[in-house]
């Protein structure tokens, strides 16, 4: 009998080894994309750390080309966050799948614990160099300086050149707290719509509380690109709360694991303590439908009983999960974020009420900006975001794009050949999906997958901003015609009157009554500006009465009413009509005369 050949040697690969060979899963699939991914992971970490510590983020990104080495860059990223204690640095930067958010249910930028460690691994893989980390916590007098690499076999950090020393800024002033990383990597810098600049620009729009600066240096350390986006508000995003899973969103495998790990002795107690919105009566009802005793041990349930339990979840009417696990940007801050990145004539935004899909809370926000320096014959700019993170790739396959394509924008004044695809015009549309569980089409997390509830909510929001755009364009056209007529009358009539008076030897007549007969309209000019010194918005409205008789007017204005926001310094006393709407009753305005209403709004910074 011939001896059988031994089978192939079976080995277990660590998670680090897997991603070392499949780095495209982490976003490092090309040289141009690699630097964007590295910047993204650094910025996401900085924003999360600052917000958790309730610190207004200040983030500096610098990229340098390496002399004599093609397609090699140095990334320097620094923030003013709380810093990382020395004992946690190796885990935060040198161990994949180490993080505090993987098992939490709340809106977060990242959950897997891969991000910044992936940058360290990619740097080591492509250049053989470790990443230099500087970390300073406020409680310690000096900073930690250390080089971090990864032992991919054991998924452990490799630390070297550790020392404690002062950390000074460019002016020689001690830095109180924060983190700085320096990573060498194979990458290529490019300009355009898929670039570091575009990623940071988009990040600044949906994070108006953050100050972000960027500069790019060539091999001779000459600055070839430099830009900064200052913070436009001191208001930090509302802290999100962690919630329990909802029965309508749990999968069979997850339910089996939860039952195995249960500390409760009775099934009814397990349902009440491990899921949200399951009171005692509903737990009892679930057990009855599943035909399982409420006193049964969760750990001893068999496969068919677990399936029956999951089926019972869908038959019982339960309250939707709480939505304080979400933190939307909000209308006013979306407008501020768009305004600091794009010059505009008109901005409209909407934040929809929270909804639930498959037991997962989500909330959609849409902003539409009508630009001044944007081309009118090119496709509109689409700005896609999930949980305040920009999506820059796979636009065509993304649900957020497909919703835009589903709207017939011709009805709202944009060029949209055949009513298909992306419309054309000087417009930017921002779409933000906030959710505890964003479903992506792939591991790269660059496109949102199909979801009927999310699609419908986004479409309702887009139709609403579309109606606002249509109204604005109609009013703008009417105002432009009235202004043209007004300016024409004011230019020509005085000259005619002067010439006629000179010929006839008479005094120039009063022209206001004549202008009134020609115009037969009420004309309002508005001027809204931000006073950076006083930190308030100044509003001025001038009303011209070009009708045949004296009239009394009442002006109504929408304003962002909420705690801490006030209307001050009113030239005419106003009063609250309804929530978010204020009314001013003006004095009688004679025919041909005008009146000015002035007020300011504080608390919007």
pLDDT at 4 over 60: no
Q: What span, in angstroms and rounded, lies between the C-alpha atoms of 401 and 516? A: 50
User: Domain locations in the chain?
Assistant: 15-229, 247-315, 331-471, 510-602
Q: What is the pLDDT of residue 103?
A: 45
Residues 198-202 have a mean pLDDT of 92
pLDDT at 430 over 80: yes
Q: What span, in angstroms and rounded, lies between the C-alpha atoms of 516 and 497? A: 15
Point out the least confidently predicted range of 26-35, 457-466, 550-559, 593-602: 26-35
- Which tens digit of pLDDT belongs to each residue from 335-345? 888 877 777 77
pLDDT at 74 over 60: yes
The closest of 219, 214, 224 to 39, measured between CA atoms, is 214
Q: What span, in angstroms and rounded, lies between the C-alpha atoms of 74 and 61? A: 11
Q: What span, in angstroms and rounded, lies between the C-alpha atoms of 96 and 22? A: 14
Is residue 489 within a helix (H) or strand (E), and if so which, with residue range? helix 452-504
Q: What is the pLDDT of residue 17?
A: 52
Q: What span, in angstroms and rounded, lies between the C-alpha atoms of 525 and 527? A: 7
- Which tens digit of pLDDT belongs to each residue from 279-308? 999 999 999 998 999 898 988 888 889 899
- The two most distant CA atoms of the chain are separated, in Å, by 134
- Judged by DSSP in three states, 509 sits in coil
- Burial class of 377 by CB neighbour count within 10 A (0 to 12, 13 to 18, 19+): exposed
Residues 409-437 have a mean pLDDT of 88
Residues 157-171 have a mean pLDDT of 88
Q: What is the pLDDT of residue 116?
A: 81
Does pTM surpass 0.95?
no
Q: What is the pLDDT of residue 112?
A: 42
pLDDT at 546 over 90: no
% of the chain at pLDDT higher than 70: 89
pLDDT at 56 over 90: yes
Point out the least confidently predicted range of 223-232, 362-371, 518-527: 518-527
pLDDT at 102 over 50: no
Integer angstrom CA distances of residue 431 from 188, 318, 363, 364, 403: 29, 30, 11, 7, 10
The closest of 92, 166, 181, 63 to 131, measured between CA atoms, is 181
For 243-312, give the secondary structure using H, E and C.
CCCCHHHCCHHHHHHHHHCCCCCCHHHHHHHHCCCCCHHHHHHHHHHHCCCCCCCHHHCCHHHHHHHHHH
Among the ranges 146-155, 280-289, 321-330, 542-551, which has the highest mean pLDDT value? 280-289
SS3 content of the chain, % helix, strand, coil (to 5): 35, 25, 40
Return the CATH class of domain 331-471.
alpha beta
pLDDT at 111 over 50: no
- Which tens digit of pLDDT belongs to each residue from 77-101? 999 999 988 888 888 887 665 554 4
DSSP string of 373-414, one letter each residue: SS-SSSBPEEEEEETTEEE-S--TT-HHHHHHHTS-GGGGT-
pLDDT at 498 over 90: no
Integer angstrom CA distances of residue 177 from 52, 84, 136, 169, 327: 14, 9, 5, 11, 26
CA atoms within 13 A of residue 293's CA, in its CB half-sphere? 7
Q: What span, in angstroms and rounded, lies between the C-alpha atoms of 213 and 204? A: 10
pLDDT at 190 over 80: yes
> What pairs with residue 594 in β-bridges?
544
The closest of 116, 156, 162 to 143, measured between CA atoms, is 162
In the DSSP assignment, the letter for residue 193 is: S
Q: What is 247-315's CATH number?
A: 1.10.8.50
How open is the CA angle 81-24-57, to the nearest 5 degrees? 15
Q: What is the pLDDT of residue 21?
A: 56
Structure-token pair, residue 468: 């606002």
What is the β-pairing status of strands 178-186 and 156-165?
Answer: unpaired
Residues 421-440 have a mean pLDDT of 88
The chain-wide mean pLDDT, for the chain, equals 84
pLDDT at 115 over 80: no
- Judged by DSSP in three states, 195 sits in coil
Within 8 A by CB and 6+ apart from 89, the residues are 133, 135, 144, 146, 148, 157, 159
Point out the least confidently predicted range of 117-131, 201-215, 322-336: 322-336
Give 25's pLDDT tier (boundaries 50, 70, 90). low
- Which tens digit of pLDDT belongs to each residue from 228-277? 999 888 888 888 888 888 888 788 888 888 898 888 999 989 999 888 88
Integer angstrom CA distances of residue 2 from 5, 7: 9, 15
Give CA torsion, residues 561, 564, 565, 568, to 10 deg. Answer: 130
Q: What span, in angstroms and rounded, lies between the C-alpha atoms of 570 and 468? A: 28
Q: Does domain 15-229 have CATH number 3.40.50.300?
A: no
Return the CATH class of domain 510-602.
mainly beta
For 548-576, give the secondary structure using H, E and C.
CCCECCEEEEECCCCCCCEEECCCCCEEE
Q: What is the pLDDT of residue 1?
A: 46
């Amino acid at each position: 009998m011939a001896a059988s050949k031994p089978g192939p040697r079976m080995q277990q690969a660590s998670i680090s080894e897997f991603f070392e060979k499949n780095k495209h899963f982490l976003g490092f699939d090309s040289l141009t994309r690699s630097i964007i991914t590295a910047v993204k992971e650094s910025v996401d970490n900085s924003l999360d750390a600052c917000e958790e510590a309730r610190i207004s983020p200040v983030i500096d990104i610098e990229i340098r080309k390496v002399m004599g080495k093609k397609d090699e860059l140095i990334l320097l990223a620094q923030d003013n966050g709380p810093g990382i204690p020395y004992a946690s640095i190796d885990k935060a930067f040198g161990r994949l799948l180490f993080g505090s958010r993987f098992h939490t249910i709340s809106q977060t930028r990242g959950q897997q614990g891969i991000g910044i460690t992936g940058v360290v691994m990619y740097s080591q893989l492509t250049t053989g160099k470790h990443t230099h980390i500087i970390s300073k916590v406020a409680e310690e007098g000096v900073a930690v300086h250390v080089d971090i690499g990864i032992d991919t076999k054991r998924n452990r950090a490799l630390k070297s050149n550790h020392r404690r020393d002062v950390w000074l800024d460019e002016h020689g002033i001690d830095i109180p707290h924060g983190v700085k990383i320096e990573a060498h990597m194979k990458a290529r810098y490019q300009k355009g719509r898929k670039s570091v600049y575009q990623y940071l620009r988009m990040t600044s729009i949906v994070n108006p509380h953050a100050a972000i600066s960027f500069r790019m240096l060539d091999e001779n350390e000459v600055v070839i690109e430099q830009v900064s986006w200052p913070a436009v508000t001191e208001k930090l995003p509302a802290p999100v709360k962690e919630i329990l899973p909802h029965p309508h969103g749990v999968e069979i495998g997850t339910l089996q694991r939860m039952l195995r790990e249960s500390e409760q002795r009775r099934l009814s107690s397990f349902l009440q303590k491990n899921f949200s919105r399951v009171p005692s009566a509903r737990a009892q009802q679930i057990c009855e439908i599943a035909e399982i005793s409420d006193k049964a041990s969760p750990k001893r349930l068999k496969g068919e009983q677990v399936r029956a339990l999951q089926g019972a979840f869908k038959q019982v009417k339960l309250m939707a999960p709480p939505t304080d696990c979400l933190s939307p940007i909000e209308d006013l801050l979306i407008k501020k974020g768009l305004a600091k990145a794009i010059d505009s004539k008109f901005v409209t935004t909407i934040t929809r009420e929270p909804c639930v899909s498959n037991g997962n809370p989500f909330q959609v926000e849409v902003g539409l900006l009508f630009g001044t320096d944007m081309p009118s014959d090119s496709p509109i700019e689409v700005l896609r975001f999930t949980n305040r993170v920009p999506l820059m790739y796979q636009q065509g396959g993304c649900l957020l794009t497909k919703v835009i394509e589903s709207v017939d924008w011709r009805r709202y004044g944009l060029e949209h050949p055949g009513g298909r695809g992306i419309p054309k015009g000087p417009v930017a549309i921002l779409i933000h999906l906030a959710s505890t569980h964003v479903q992506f089409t792939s591991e790269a997390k660059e496109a949102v997958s199909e979801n009927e509830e999310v699609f419908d909510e986004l479409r309702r929001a887009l139709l609403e901003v579309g109606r606002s755009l249509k109204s604005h364009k109609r009013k703008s056209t009417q105002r432009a015609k009235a202004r043209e007529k007004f300016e024409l009358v004011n230019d020509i009539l005085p000259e005619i009157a002067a010439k006629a008076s000179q010929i006839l030897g008479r005094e120039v007549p009063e022209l206001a009554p004549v202008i009134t007969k020609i115009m037969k309209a009420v004309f309002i000019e508005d001027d809204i500006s931000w006073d950076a010194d006083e930190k308030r918005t100044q509003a001025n409205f001038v009303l011209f009465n070009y009708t045949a008789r004296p009239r009394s007017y009442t002006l109504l204005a929408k304003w962002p009413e909420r705690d801490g926001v006030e209307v001050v310094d009113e030239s005419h006393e106003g009063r609250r009509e309804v929530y978010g709407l204020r009314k001013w009753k003006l004095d009688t305005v004679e025919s041909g005369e005008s009146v000015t209403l002035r007020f300011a709004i504080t608390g919007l910074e």
